[in-house]
Amino acid sequence: MRLLVGVAVAISLLLIAATPTVSAQSQQLPPGFTPLTAENPKTNSFGMEGRISAPPPSQGAQIIAPSGGQTYTTPLITVSGTCPTGLLVEILNNGVMVGSTFCENGSFSLLISLFAGQNDISARVIDDLGQVGPASNIVTVFFNNGQFVPFGAVITLTSNYSRRAVDPGSTLVWPLQLSGGTGPYAFSIDWGDGSEIELMSQATAGLVNIRHVYKTPGIYRVTIKVVDVNGATGFLQVIAVVNGPAQAKIVNTDEKPAKIEYRNRIIWLPAFLVFLLLLPAFWLGRRHEARAMRKRLERDAEMVRKLDQQ
């Protein structure tokens, strides 16, 4: 019995050794597929990756405002226009990405920073595959503000990424490029997920990495503001995509805050309390005045009586 078992094991080892190694290069792959170069898959197996093809967007964005030719004295303006719903809209200023947002209901609106002097502003749409649609019209405006000339220049905040994706619970790292102005710089970052505004500082201009962990899948507007020691400001808005079934929607920041009515109530409440306190105070004052007058009359009558006795 032991002899038979040993012979069976030997035959199995010979069969395994004689089995040819299957590699990606030796297989005839379907068109459009390429082998993976990672360590996994392992020996005797191979993996394939494919690309889903789709036509790029056929319709581009159109900038409506500003109309062009304006000269601004503040470094921040709003760019708005029309676009195909559901696509990412990326705003370029002098060929540099200065902000992004999603096209909703066929339109977009985005606050951007201007460069000193001439600004050639354009917009482009990008689909989920990263394909770019037709170029938009170019709007030229000018920025001239003598307030910041003595300090060197206007702050410019840009990034190579208008949109980045991350898994829930993982750290999203977003590299920014800061130039202009005078350090130190103070940053205010709204990650768009309802978390507290993040504050950070940077001593000098250059590369800045911001980090955040999202908990819920969805699409978020990330708003970054920066101010230097002299009060010059910079602004950048980008889009963060958290993978998974979307549970969070982009919040419309153009809506008027509901707390305006609450403030009016607070203003009327002290006035009402003052009115209520005014009535007893007036009554107590009149009572005190009457007592003082009675005592004065009594003193005067006593003095007259003494004079009559003399």
DSSP string, 181-242: S-S-EEEEEE-SSSPPPEEEEESSSEEEEEEEE--S-EEEEEEEEEE-TTS-EEEEEEEEEE
Q: What is the DSSP-derived secondary structure letter of residue 132?
A: B
Confidence band, pLDDT 50/70/90 cuts, at residue 223: very high
**Among candidate residues 74, 75, 205, 232, the one with its CA nearest the CA of residue 151:** 232
Confidence band, pLDDT 50/70/90 cuts, at residue 305: low
Instruction: Please give the average per-residue pLDDT across 231-258, as a whole number.
Output: 72
- Inside any domain, residue 77: yes
| Token pair listed for 27 | 């297989």
Confidence band, pLDDT 50/70/90 cuts, at residue 295: low
pLDDT given at position 266? 40
Confidence band, pLDDT 50/70/90 cuts, at residue 293: low
Q: 27: helix, coil or strand?
A: coil
> Which residues are registered as beta bridge partners of 101?
89
34 and 89 part of one domain:
no
**200: alpha, beta or left, given left = phi > 0 and alpha = psi -120 to 50?**
beta
Percent of all residues in the chain with a pLDDT value above 70, rounded to a whole number = 60
- Which one is predicted more confidently, 38 or 89? 89
127 and 30 part of one domain:
no
165 and 42 part of one domain:
no
145 and 221 part of one domain:
yes
- Inside any domain, residue 127: yes
- Inside any domain, residue 288: no
pLDDT given at position 29? 45
- Which one is predicted more confidently, 157 or 278? 157
- Inside any domain, residue 265: no
- State how far the Cα of 3 lies from the Cα of 8, in Å rounded to an integer: 9
124 and 206 part of one domain:
yes
- Inside any domain, residue 259: no
pLDDT given at position 38? 44
Average pLDDT, the chain: 77
Q: How far is CA 71 from the centre of its chain?
A: 27
- Inside any domain, residue 35: yes
- State how far the Cα of 130 lies from the Cα of 163, in Å rounded to an integer: 10
- Which one is predicted more confidently, 131 or 258? 131
Highest mean pLDDT: which range of 4-13, 81-90, 226-235 = 81-90
Q: Which amino acid is at 210?
A: I
45 and 165 part of one domain:
no
Confidence band, pLDDT 50/70/90 cuts, at residue 286: low
The answer to whether residue 222 scores a pLDDT higher than 70 is yes
Confidence band, pLDDT 50/70/90 cuts, at residue 260: very low
Q: Provide the domain limits for residue 189.
A: 62-252
pLDDT given at position 245? 82
Cis peptide before 245 (omega within 30 of 0): no
pLDDT given at position 211? 97
- State how far the Cα of 171 lies from the Cα of 8, in Å rounded to an integer: 54
User: Residue 159: exposed, middle, or buried by beta-carbon count in 10 A (0-12, 13-18, 19+)?
Assistant: buried
Q: What is the pLDDT of residues 72-94, one digit of tens each?
A: 998 899 999 999 999 999 999 99
The answer to whether residue 212 scores a pLDDT higher than 50 is yes
pLDDT given at position 310? 53
- State how far the Cα of 198 lies from the Cα of 226, in Å rounded to an integer: 12
The answer to whether residue 145 scores a pLDDT higher than 60 is yes
**Among candidate residues 220, 222, 223, the one with its CA nearest the CA of residue 249:** 220
37 and 140 part of one domain:
no
44 and 164 part of one domain:
no
Q: Which residue has the tokens 């096209």?
A: 103
- Inside any domain, residue 267: no
Q: What is the pLDDT of residues 46-64, one digit of tens each?
A: 555 556 678 999 999 999 9
Domain count for the chain, please give it. Answer: 2
Question: Per residue, what are the HEC states of 235-274?
Answer: EEEEEEEECCCCCECCCCCCCCCCHHHHHHHHHHHHHHHH
119 and 227 part of one domain:
yes
| Token pair listed for 114 | 């201007």
Give the pairing of strands 71-72 and 62-65: unpaired
- Inside any domain, residue 190: yes
- State how far the Cα of 175 lies from the Cα of 222, in Å rounded to an integer: 13
The answer to whether residue 164 scores a pLDDT higher than 60 is yes
67 and 129 part of one domain:
yes
| Residue 213: CB atoms within 10 Å | 14
Confidence band, pLDDT 50/70/90 cuts, at residue 307: low
> Which residues are registered as beta bridge partners of 34?
49
34 and 100 part of one domain:
no
- Which one is predicted more confidently, 31 or 234? 234
- State how far the Cα of 182 lies from the Cα of 151, in Å rounded to an integer: 7
The answer to whether residue 200 scores a pLDDT higher than 50 is yes
> How many helices and strands (H and E) does the chain possess?
2, 18
pLDDT given at position 294? 65
87 and 123 part of one domain:
yes
